[in-house]
């Protein structure tokens, strides 16, 4: 049965439920299509399995049973399974559509991940594994292709829970999968016990996560070979090279966590996925997430600094022009007073935003630290863009076009001016063509200068101004003055009930100091007693899952 005939039969059998729009990708088990669920009127990712998986009744029943188990999962780091579709000729299942890219695509596009992003993805995948392992499900096929990175949030989600286990009696038709005894998986990320056909548990997934993190950190596959058999032999006999050898800038604690996941003996790995998350947190590999109010306040201060510059410039220019025009003091002070009133009002409204932060429970130190992290994020973003070959290529093309526009604009202006006819001292008569050439040349000149000055790899002047003003003594004084007079009791009464949740990031790549150990724990509000979830790691994990699920439902996912 060819792929075309199979697709036509799928369209005939699913025409009343799904409309296939385009292919999203192919794998060893089947093809994924972008489809629209007609009954619920929403886009889904429809995975159509290879025909041989539908031909065996035992395999079919096991696949349906375990896919139903995966469909019962509800976790923000697991791509949900919505429905299973079957007929005599095919098996398919619909899952949530993630707007983003796989970890493989991310590394191929932009190179090895920064430490901050690597830590976040490891923790997200570990949380998903902890959730599944707690329900008796082992993934068995963790790999970069099965980790999706959501474009809007950077959140990592795991694909295909329970599917690999369903394939244990199949005879694969793709070199992307292999079979040893009753084992199917991806050889490059397969644990030794899985490769040898032994019984596996959650530590097998941790081994695959370690090799996946190795790939994300270095851009290279840790275990490779000329054939499937040679790869499996290496998985069984050769130790995985230490990630620090290929990525020396990794924090030692992070490199140790990756190496420990990739130990050959399951007893030498982390006992659980929760233990991996706890080790990452305890090693100070996590930094606090920047709260949204602090991000907005940083934007407010950036706007204020630009407004101050513009208004002061206008005041000076207006005063100078009126002074040279021999105007009275009253004539000079009228526009200056107007602009000064606008400036003072703008400063006071920004100070009121700082007071709201204080009432929400933020201290001046928290705000300054958060603004520093906002600036550090921009540095990291420029580093990521600099490592992206596509961004570099587009920037080179932009520079070439800008230089061409600059030369063309100067030539147009010169030609336009040369077409003028002098009719007197400092007086010229210009034809419509010469006027059009000069105006078009000036427009192109301005565009070319902006394109040449602006670069995604350089710090813009507005950011330099923000760092100079708001991250220094002036900024600290302004924030302190804005929050002055807000009493602690008022802040506690007005503060949100939920603690600020902190997530993983890279402290080494930031311009701010590494967080202290106490900063890694959830920051409780003043005088708040620690809850049971902060004392019990397992309870803390369940609490985090509950909060994230509530957030996901509130977004309508």
Percentage of the chain modeled with pLDDT above 70:
76
Q: What are phi and psi of 49, to 5 degrees?
A: -80, 160
User: Is residue 555 very low, low, confident or very high in pLDDT (cuts 50, 70, 90)?
Assistant: low
User: Is residue 178 very low, low, confident or very high in pLDDT (cuts 50, 70, 90)?
Assistant: very low
CB atoms under 10 Å from CB of 469, counted, come to 18
Q: Is the pLDDT of residue 212 over 50?
A: yes
The mean per-residue pLDDT over the stretch 255-273 comes to 95
Q: What is the pLDDT of residue 485?
A: 81
Q: What is the pLDDT of residue 3?
A: 46
Q: What pLDDT digit, counting tens, does each position of 482-516 carry?
A: 998 886 555 544 444 433 333 333 333 333 333 33
Q: What is the pLDDT of residue 281?
A: 85
Q: What pLDDT digit, counting tens, does each position of 218-261 carry?
A: 999 999 999 888 999 999 999 999 999 999 888 899 999 999 99
Q: Is the pLDDT of residue 288 over 70?
A: no
User: Is residue 85 very low, low, confident or very high in pLDDT (cuts 50, 70, 90)?
Assistant: confident
Q: What is the pLDDT of residue 490?
A: 52
d(CA 467, CA 342) in angstroms, rounded, equals 24
Q: What is the pLDDT of residue 548?
A: 63
Least confident range from 33-42, 119-128, 211-220: namely: 33-42
Is 141 an annotated catalytic residue?
Answer: yes
Q: Is the pLDDT of residue 115 over 60?
A: yes
Least confident range from 129-133, 454-458, 460-464, 549-553: namely: 549-553
CB 76 within 8 A of CB 551: yes
Strand bridging mode 147-150 / 100-102:
antiparallel
3-state helix, strand, coil in the chain (%, to 5): 60, 10, 30
| Identified catalytic residue from 124, 141, 205, 506 | 141
User: Is residue 461 very low, low, confident or very high in pLDDT (cuts 50, 70, 90)?
Assistant: confident
Task: Give the three-class secondary structure for 248.
Answer: coil
Give the pTM. Answer: 0.62
- What's the chain's average pLDDT? 79
CB 274 within 8 A of CB 538: yes
- Segments in 283-328 forming alpha helices (H): 292-324
Tokens of 57: 């009744």
The mean per-residue pLDDT over the stretch 149-162 comes to 86
Tokens of 328: 């009275």
Q: What is the pLDDT of residue 25?
A: 78
CB 171 within 8 A of CB 52: yes
CB atoms under 10 Å from CB of 255, counted, come to 21
- CA distances, 52 to each of 28, 171, 178, 298 (Å): 12, 8, 15, 57
Q: What is the pLDDT of residue 541?
A: 57
Domains of the chain: 3-95 (3.30.200.20), 100-282 (1.10.510.10)
């Amino acid at each position: 049965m060819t792929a075309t005939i199979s697709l036509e039969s799928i369209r005939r059998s699913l025409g009343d439920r799904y409309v296939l729009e385009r292919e999203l990708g192919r794998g060893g088990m089947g093809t994924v299509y972008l489809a629209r669920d007609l009954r619920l009127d929403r886009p889904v990712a429809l995975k159509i399995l290879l025909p041989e998986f539908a031909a065996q009744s035992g395999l079919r029943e096991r696949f349906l049973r375990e896919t139903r188990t995966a469909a019962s999962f509800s976790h923000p780091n697991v791509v949900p399974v919505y429905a299973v579709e079957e007929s005599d000729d095919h098996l398919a299942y619909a899952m949530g559509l993630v707007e983003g890219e796989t970890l493989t695509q991310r590394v191929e596009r932009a190179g090895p991940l920064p430490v901050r992003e690597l830590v976040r993805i490891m923790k997200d995948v570990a949380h998903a594994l902890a959730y599944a392992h707690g329900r008796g499900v082992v993934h068995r096929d963790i790999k970069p292709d099965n980790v999706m990175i959501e474009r809007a949030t950077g959140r990592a989600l795991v694909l295909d829970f329970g599917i690999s286990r369903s394939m244990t009696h199949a005879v694969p038709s793709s070199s992307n999968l292999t079979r040893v005894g009753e084992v199917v998986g991806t050889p490059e990320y397969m644990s030794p016990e899985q490769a040898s056909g032994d019984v596996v548990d959650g530590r097998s997934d941790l081994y695959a996560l370690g090799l996946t993190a190795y790939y994300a950190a270095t851009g290279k596959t840790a275990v490779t070979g000329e054939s499937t058999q040679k790869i499996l032999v290496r998985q069984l006999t050769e130790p995985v090279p230490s990630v620090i050898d290929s990525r020396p800038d990794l924090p030692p604690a992070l490199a140790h966590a990756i190496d420990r996941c990739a130990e050959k003996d399951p007893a030498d790995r982390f006992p659980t996925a929760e233990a991996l998350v706890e080790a990452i947190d305890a090693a100070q590999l996590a930094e606090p997430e920047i709260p949204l109010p602090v991000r907005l306040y940083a934007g407010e201060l950036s706007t204020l600094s630009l407004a101050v510059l513009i208004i002061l410039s206008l005041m000076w220019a207006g005063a100078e022009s009126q002074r040279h025009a021999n105007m009275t003091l009253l004539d000079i002070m009228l526009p200056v007073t107007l602009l000064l009133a606008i400036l003072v009002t703008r400063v006071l409204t920004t100070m009121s935003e700082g007071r709201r932060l204080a009432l929400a429970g933020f201290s001046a130190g928290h705000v300054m630290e958060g603004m520093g992290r906002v600036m550090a994020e921009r540095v990291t973003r420029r580093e990521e863009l600099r490592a992206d070959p596509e961004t570099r290529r587009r920037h080179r093309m932009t520079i070439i076009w800008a230089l061409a526009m600059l030369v063309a604009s100067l030539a147009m202006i010169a030609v336009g001016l040369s077409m003028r006819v002098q009719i007197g001292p400092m007086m010229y008569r210009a034809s419509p063509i010469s006027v059009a050439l000069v105006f078009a040349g000036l427009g192109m000149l301005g565009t070319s200068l902006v394109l040449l000055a602006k670069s995604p790899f350089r710090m813009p002047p507005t950011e330099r101004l923000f760092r100079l003003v708001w991250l220094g003594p002036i900024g600290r004084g302004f924030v302190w003055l804005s929050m002055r007079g807000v009493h602690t009791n008022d802040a506690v009464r007005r503060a949100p009930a939920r603690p600020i949740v902190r997530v993983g990031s890279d402290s080494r790549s930031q311009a701010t100091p590494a967080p202290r150990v106490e900063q890694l724990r959830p920051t409780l509000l003043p005088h708040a007693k620690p809850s049971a979830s902060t004392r019990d790691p397992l309870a803390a994990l369940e609490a985090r899952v509950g909060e994230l699920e509530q957030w996901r439902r509130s977004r309508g996912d």
